[in-house]
Structure 1
Amino acid sequence: MTELSIPTAAGVFDALVAGPPDGRPVLLLHGFPQTGLVWRRQIAALAAHGCRVVAPDQRGYSPRVRPQRPDDYRVNHLVDDVIAITGQLGWAAFDLVGHDWGGAVAWWTAHAHPGRVRTLTVVSTPHPGALAATLRTDQDQRARSRYMIDWRETPATEERMLAHDAQELRAFYAGKVPRDSAEAYVRHLSRPGALTAALNWYRAGRPDGPIGVVDVPTLYVWSTQDSAFGPAAARDTRQWVDGPYRFEILQGVSHWVPEEAPETLSGLLLEHLRTHDEFATAAHTPLDDPPKR
């Protein structure tokens, strides 16, 4: 795994990269409050099976793509970043993976650019349409999502999260994230302007328009101990996918799936890519058999 700088019109994105340059291209999108490092175990697994894997620090997390206005973090800009990054990498089509906010961006990208997204894998985050509908009808999901409203307060939120050696920020990881990764996230978000930029994702306001169904092959992974997303929206996500769909439930796993259950997630991801290998071009290295779970 090496570091990569990806220049775009919006700025230069920092990224982690691994795998053969001519391998099957896979883009991994992180969420809050993490960075591309969240995918290190999946990066290793995918690269070992011949994929070219890139995990960027997204808008606001990359210091050279850190606009100050919340409006600059609207979903359309985040999707444009994905297209700009993959265009700079020379990827006409790619497999897209996202967790948490990265999952939301992945859903929107697959909807807006189905011709570019070969397969979609989303971890934790239900389809935005399913989540919106559930917020109107399900008290449990409204309670789970209350933090999204609370975090729009500024600068009180940043001050509270970083107070007492970032005690509140550290608590998010709740022993489910490896200590070295948690410390790396805290250091990253404690730098001037970084946490405000990350919270601007919540402050950017509603999307510019509605999202419809997704018709690319989709794997959705949800865990029963996820504090942010409940079972109602997870189940309803099926109604928002017209293409081949697989729904996997991880029992007893929290929101931090990529780091709490890395081998299980890597296995599911490899199986998904192998199942839809016909969507890969002949120039890409075929996947080996994925490891047994």
Structure 2
Amino acid sequence: MEDTTTHRDVVVNGVRLHIAEQGEGPLVVLLHGWPESWYSWRHQLAPLAAAGYRVVAPDQRGYARSEQPADVTSYTMLHLVGDVIALIKELGEEQAILVGHDWGAPVAWTTAMLRPDVVRAVAGLSVPPILPTGLVPPSITRTQYGEGFYQIYFQEPGVADTELAKDIPASFRRILFGASGNNPLNRQPRPWVIPDGRTLLDTMPEPLGLPDWLTETDIQAYADDFALHGEGAFTGAFNWYRNIERNHELLAPFRGRGIDVPALYVVGDRDMVTSLGGAKGLRTPLATIAPRLHAQVVLKGCGHWTQQERPDEVNTALLDFLSHVDRAAAQ
């Protein structure tokens, strides 16, 4: 299939974002997670465009080719949701279907919760809707998993940032394999907990080889874009984590709200997220949180990098969902 993806920059909420786009038709916005970029959707752009959609995948604020605001408080969930709403408007559209993976899923779910007038439908990959803020705050996860829990480890400015920036390609290689379904350690998913005195990458050694879905070209594509930020290559991405507690304060008025638009959830059964208490507990009552849930898809043997590890199955699920949304709108 010919790659007709185009790239350009747009400015939303005063922040320059790089976007990849392809196709014409109803707008579908693909929101990546940590520590990724638009490139994580490389297998979805063309198939969704071929099905008659305008597909746009931004590098979200702080990531890859997009601008990295210096102030850590510029990465709250309200900023991230605001970027999505402003991007839809900048693209000349009134509404969009959102698809998010990892951190992109909380952004998608929260945007759908706050602005159902703009979000036609929402799909989350890996992370279920932990409303209203997207993730459980450190004040709770510290008690559940201890000081070594990866989200706690990410809170200290400069620590994980420096660690991952030392050798960016190696960091991507180790993290992408480490959280994949191909890593034998993930046959029984477990929370990422870093032993005292160790680092994140200590828990994710260099793989002997890459799985079929990941190439050295892919690794370099991520690394080249993150390297644009120099020593702060990962700082913007980590700043999302450094606002989780703040998000719970800012979004407190919306506790009790659910997802009012059509929804889809896709997760791998070897995804670390399935081992977390909050996420595991939310998967069962998902239809209560999102009463217009179309499907909950579990991919056997798939790890955390859902749309990269299982592109064909994810594309099938997304196209079925998009068709469902379009049919419902036509009735």
- Structure-1-length-normalised TM-score: 0.86
Q: Deviations over 1:173-222 (max 9, x none)?
A: 10455222222112222332331111111112421124421111000011
Q: Is the 8 A contact 2:161 2:234 kept in 1?
A: yes
- Tell me what 1:219 maps to: 264
**Residues 17-166 of structure 1 aligned to structure 2 (within 5 Å):** 17-20=21-24, 23-61=25-63, 63=65, 65-129=67-131, 132=136, 142=145, 146-164=149-167, 166=169
Amino acid paired to 2:97:
D
Amino acid paired to 2:302:
V
Which shifted more, 227-236 or 196-205?
A: 227-236
- Tell me what 2:226 maps to: 189
Residue 82 of structure 1: how far off its partner (Å): 0.2
- Tell me what 1:267 maps to: 316
- Segments of 5+ residues of structure 2 without an aligned counterpart are 178-209
Measured on the aligned residues, the alpha-carbon RMSD in Å equals 2.6
Which shifted more, 176-185 or 267-276?
A: 176-185
- Give the counterpart of 2:14 among 10, 13, 20: 10
Amino acid paired to 2:234:
L
Amino acid paired to 1:194:
A
Residue 232 of structure 1: how far off its partner (Å): 3.2
Q: Is the alpha carbon distance of 1:254 and 1:73 closer, same or farther for their aligned partners in structure 2, counting shifts above 3 Å? A: same
Residue 152 of structure 1: how far off its partner (Å): 1.2
Q: Partners of 2:321 and 2:175 in 1: how far apart? A: 29
Q: Is the 8 A contact 1:29 1:98 kept in 2?
A: yes
Q: Partners of 1:45 and 1:165 in 2: how far apart? A: 30
Q: Partners of 2:329 and 2:55 in 1: how far apart? A: 14
Q: Is the alpha carbon distance of 1:36 and 1:165 closer, same or farther for their aligned partners in structure 2, counting shifts above 3 Å? A: closer
Off by >4 Å, runs of 4+ in structure 1: 279-282
Q: Partners of 2:43 and 2:16 in 1: how far apart? A: 24
Q: Is the alpha carbon distance of 1:247 and 1:69 closer, same or farther for their aligned partners in structure 2, counting shifts above 3 Å? A: same
Q: Partners of 1:46 and 1:63 in 2: how far apart? A: 23
Q: Secondary structure at the match of 2:18?
A: strand
Q: Is the alpha carbon distance of 1:158 and 1:136 closer, same or farther for their aligned partners in structure 2, counting shifts above 3 Å? A: closer
Residue 71 of structure 1: how far off its partner (Å): 0.7
- Tell me what 1:209 maps to: 251
Residue 257 of structure 1: how far off its partner (Å): 0.7
Q: Secondary structure at the match of 2:259?
A: coil
Number of residues of Structure 1 aligned to a counterpart in Structure 2: 277
Amino acid paired to 2:264:
L
Residue 33 of structure 1: how far off its partner (Å): 0.7
Residue 38 of structure 1: how far off its partner (Å): 0.7
Q: Deviations over 1:83-135 (max 9, x none)?
A: 010001111111110000110100110000001111111000111239649x9
Amino acid paired to 1:214:
I
- Tell me what 2:304 maps to: 255
Work out whether 1:178 is the aligned partner of 2:180: no
Amino acid paired to 2:117:
G
Q: Partners of 1:76 and 1:97 in 2: how far apart? A: 18
Q: Partners of 2:235 and 2:261 in 1: how far apart? A: 34
Q: Percent identity at matched positions?
A: 33
Q: Is the 8 A contact 1:71 1:205 kept in 2?
A: no
Q: Secondary structure at the match of 1:276?
A: helix
Work out whether 1:241 is the aligned partner of 2:278: no
Which shifted more, 162-171 or 74-83?
A: 162-171
Amino acid paired to 2:242:
R
Q: Secondary structure at the match of 1:173?
A: helix
Q: Is the 8 A contact 1:118 1:280 kept in 2?
A: no
Q: Is the 8 A contact 1:224 1:254 kept in 2?
A: yes
- Tell me what 2:239 maps to: 200
- Structure-2-length-normalised TM-score: 0.77
Q: Is the 8 A contact 1:94 1:118 kept in 2?
A: yes
Residue 235 of structure 1: how far off its partner (Å): 2.9
Residue 142 of structure 1: how far off its partner (Å): 4.2
Q: Is the alpha carbon distance of 1:24 and 1:227 closer, same or farther for their aligned partners in structure 2, counting shifts above 3 Å? A: same
